[in-house]
Structure 1
């Protein structure tokens, strides 16, 4: 009788164990297949990028987010947003809403950061990264605003803008940001300049497809600029202000400023350089 009870016990346990083993096997199989599919698709996209110089796709959002109603009017005042088609406008608004969710805005020296200020910076950020699939930068989650210039503890200098990757923060003088945003600063744009630093640093540290395109194209641009003739021509035309020649990071930041502020001038004088910048950001909206 005891043997019968033990035998029946094992008969009852066996289906349960088999079911558990089957479930575990399915999960492991799905996991392995998913990893294989991911790397195959990633490899295929890398091949695609080498030929097309852009990612498979830019926008894919299971749920499209919307901005709070009190922030939406600011979109209509933005020239870039107004130039987009209906679908692109939805994507722009979605990205703006996500950026605002993920980013902390801090005012310093008594400055109160309101919706207008947050949206002006957000829209510039979204415009600069609108051609990139990965637009939320891992090394930027805080925007610090000062009324005007501020003393930088990091650099021990008086600054109007600074990107600090260690703190994942971007510090800006609101006064100077607005001057550039309203095109009152002779082609300069503090926001474009400092955001480009953040994008550049992010591209060095990350390996997502947008970062790879930015960094690989930047290296190609560096090689192209190895020509003394090209460098002399850039200096002679004075298309870039002197600060661009501080180092390679400042060079690309100033270059992107020119690309965004005076695309036609850059394209006419240096079509190859224009193409490199357009490819780095996958920003083809001036061509539409």
Structure 2
């Protein structure tokens, strides 16, 4: 009799335990489903907001801000864009640099030793170019490969100074030509900006976050605008974009953003509509704030 009672008590305890476990699982599943629904509702609402306001809800939100090591932090003061920012945005810029350096692997080829200076020059250029984007770390970029000068591309079977390989999530650059583009700021040739733009463009096609949506949707609008024969004729005659821009639509946008970053006033003066498309694509409104 006592054994029978004991068995009943054990069964009751197991039933209680199973009931509690089922309740916990039920709560977790419900919270998960509700969270997913809320995410997609907010995502849709932000898309609607973007259509009306031409910008995302917000750009910067960080639970905590990272700082660079002191030996890298000093390079920030040499960057003109960083120095043009207010105190709050400087902290955001530094945080993004620190996060980028955590996520990206730098590799030197042909005996090139990649030091802190080299890493920071590329990092700061990348962060400037994506500073208007909330999603600035690209899913299709994890490695940056630096060569001393031009290199032979196995992918394209050509001698290159830069290339983006989405399959290997790698950006390859000639350090010599990267520096040349960075030092000459008004000739519409900037290897770093050019290749980073290719990475951003590819990422925007493959991903569906708000930054990718804004970039790609605005690019399609720009493409439609450029479909007018008269507009294309004006662009060619203005001689603002180098000839390589007319290779295809991907090279066009990369060269256009080179000019936007180096000579925004010239682009705005000659082609205000195209300038505005680029501003929207990158959500980059900082040049206006400098005036």
> Who is 1:285 aligned against?
286
1:156, distance to aligned residue in structure 2 (A): 1.4
1:250-278 CA deviation, whole Å, 9 max, x = no partner? 00000000000000010011000000000
> Who is 2:176 aligned against?
175
* Consecutive unaligned residues in structure 2, runs of 5 or more: none
| Alpha-carbon distance in structure 1 between the residues aligned to 2:5 and 2:185 | 93
> Who is 2:7 aligned against?
6
Q: Is the 8 A contact 1:179 1:185 kept in 2?
A: no
- Decide which moves more: 181-190 or 67-76: 181-190
> Who is 2:43 aligned against?
42
| TM-score between both structures, scaled by the size of structure 2 | 0.96
Q: Secondary structure of the residue that 1:158 maps to in structure 2?
A: strand
* Consecutive unaligned residues in structure 1, runs of 5 or more: none
Q: Is the 8 A contact 2:194 2:257 kept in 1?
A: yes
1:94, distance to aligned residue in structure 2 (A): 0.7
> Who is 2:197 aligned against?
196
1:184, distance to aligned residue in structure 2 (A): 5.8
1:63-92 CA deviation, whole Å, 9 max, x = no partner? 211111100000010000001111111111
Moved over 3 A (4+): none
Q: Is the 8 A contact 1:259 1:266 kept in 2?
A: yes
Mapped pair 1:67 → 2:68: yes
| Alpha-carbon distance in structure 2 between the residues aligned to 1:8 and 1:198 | 64
Q: Secondary structure of the residue that 1:286 maps to in structure 2?
A: helix
Q: Aligned in 2, Cα 1:184/1:23: closer, same or farther, shift over 3 Å?
A: closer
Q: Is the 8 A contact 1:104 1:142 kept in 2?
A: yes
| Alpha-carbon distance in structure 2 between the residues aligned to 1:26 and 1:102 | 35
> Who is 1:206 aligned against?
207
| Alpha-carbon distance in structure 2 between the residues aligned to 1:147 and 1:9 | 74
| Alpha-carbon distance in structure 2 between the residues aligned to 1:153 and 1:80 | 35
- The count of residues paired between Structure 1 and Structure 2 equals 288
Q: Is the 8 A contact 2:76 2:82 kept in 1?
A: yes
| TM-score between both structures, scaled by the size of structure 1 | 0.97
1:151, distance to aligned residue in structure 2 (A): 1.2
| Alpha-carbon distance in structure 2 between the residues aligned to 1:184 and 1:13 | 74
